[in-house]
Structure 1
Amino acid sequence: MKRTASDRGRDRDDEGRARSARPRDGLGRPLPYGEEGVPRQPEGVVRGPAETLREAQRLLDAGMPFHAHEVFEDAWKSGPEAERELWQGLAQLAVGLTHAARGNTAGGARLLRRGADRLVGGAPRGAPGGASGAEAYGIDAGGLVAWARNLADRAEAGTPVADAAAQAPRLCGGG
């Protein structure tokens, strides 16, 4: 008889994809079963750009960049193809902050730089008025790029990111 993932003690959805039921902390780290964690972001939520940015900013300000990354992930999966680079870049900034705050400075710096590069090189076109998606939605792409590169430099220099909320960027109107 073939054993399934759930027979082996793994958390899986009906299609067999990994779906850990373990609670997580604000940085997305798994906690032991039975401990109280931070409520997870529901997957597959379709939000408009303004709602995506509001929810992600709320999570960043609360020191929960891992959860903000999940909001951006929903945006790139459900949004127009032309905006994929924008939302993926923002997701990489959030997960870069997550890794830096977890103490993975090299990985955090790498993701912060990738996200910044996506915002610079992959700005979507065709948004209202011909502006990039970032401009059309009020995203301060230049400020975010500067913030990400500065934080990456500091992480690589060994400066710890002790408080993700204190390091959270402003997505719109000032980086």
Structure 2
Amino acid sequence: MGTDGSAGPIDRDRDEVGRARNARPRDGLGRPLPRGAAGVARHPEGVLRSPDQTLAEAQRLLDDGMPFHAHEVLEDAWKNCPEPQRALWKGMAQLAVGATHAARGNRTGAVALLRRGADHIEPYQGQPPHDIDVAGLLQWARDHVAALEAGAGHVTTPRLRGPG
């Protein structure tokens, strides 16, 4: 049924290749806003970046309080990286989504995504590629899961790379 109550197909926003995409503007946490509202510019999907560029851009977005947008940058890396690193990038994207859920007040979703993300990155702790602070991210995720389960609502910004 169409959005107007007719029996026709649903009129959906589509990208240039016909995939369904929500064209509504979004706020800094990725929540859709009403059409015509001023939103935060979204990152284009499918951008190929080097690992250094990905980590720098994702960290900038996290530091700016935009974990949803950082997730999109990390998701591009996950979808375009070599197979041996796919779980690492996927896990970091999930950590960013967990931070997004926490910032939106969804503790249950935050805990689930922080745990899932930590599970994906943990195997890389022994030899983390690209100077990613896997041990620090694991500690950050565990600390925030515990805090969220205890009723805290705030999540601090993770550091994707260690100092130096």
Instruction: Provide the TM-score with structure 1 as the length reference.
Output: 0.84
CA distance in 2, matches of 1:116, 1:31: 31
Q: Would you say 1:5 and 2:7 are equivalent positions?
A: no
Amino acid at match of 1:153: A
Q: In the alignment, which of 38, 59, 62 is matched to residue 61 of structure 2?
A: 59
Q: In the alignment, which of 81, 85, 96 is matched to residue 83 of structure 1?
A: 85
The answer for the alignment partner of 2:142 in structure 1 is 149
Shift of 1:14: 5.1
The answer for the alignment partner of 2:37 in structure 1 is 35
Q: Tell me if the contact between 1:28 and 1:67 (Cα under 8 Å) persists in the aligned partners.
A: yes
CA distance in 2, matches of 1:120, 1:37: 35
SS in 2 for 1:57: helix
SS in 2 for 1:19: coil
Shift of 1:158: 1.3
CA distance in 2, matches of 1:51, 1:148: 23
CA distance in 1, matches of 2:38, 2:151: 31
Shift of 1:58: 0.4
CA distance in 1, matches of 2:149, 2:13: 35
The answer for the alignment partner of 1:19 in structure 2 is 21
Amino acid at match of 2:10: A
CA distance in 2, matches of 1:65, 1:46: 19
The answer for the alignment partner of 1:159 in structure 2 is 152
The answer for the alignment partner of 2:157 in structure 1 is 168
The answer for the alignment partner of 1:127 in structure 2 is none
- Classify 1:17/1:5 alpha carbon distance in 2 versus 1 (closer, same or farther; 3 Å): farther
The answer for the alignment partner of 2:114 in structure 1 is 112
Shift of 1:82: 0.8
Total equivalences in the alignment = 158
Structure 1: gaps of 5 or more residues: 125-130
**Root-mean-square deviation (CA), in Å?**
2.0
Amino acid at match of 1:60: L
The answer for the alignment partner of 2:4 in structure 1 is none
Instruction: State, as a whole percentage, how many aligned pairs show the same letter.
Output: 60
Instruction: Specify which structure has the bigger relative contact order, considering alpha-carbon pairs within 8 angstroms and separated by 6 or more residues.
Output: 1
Structure 2: gaps of 5 or more residues: 1-6
Amino acid at match of 1:71: V
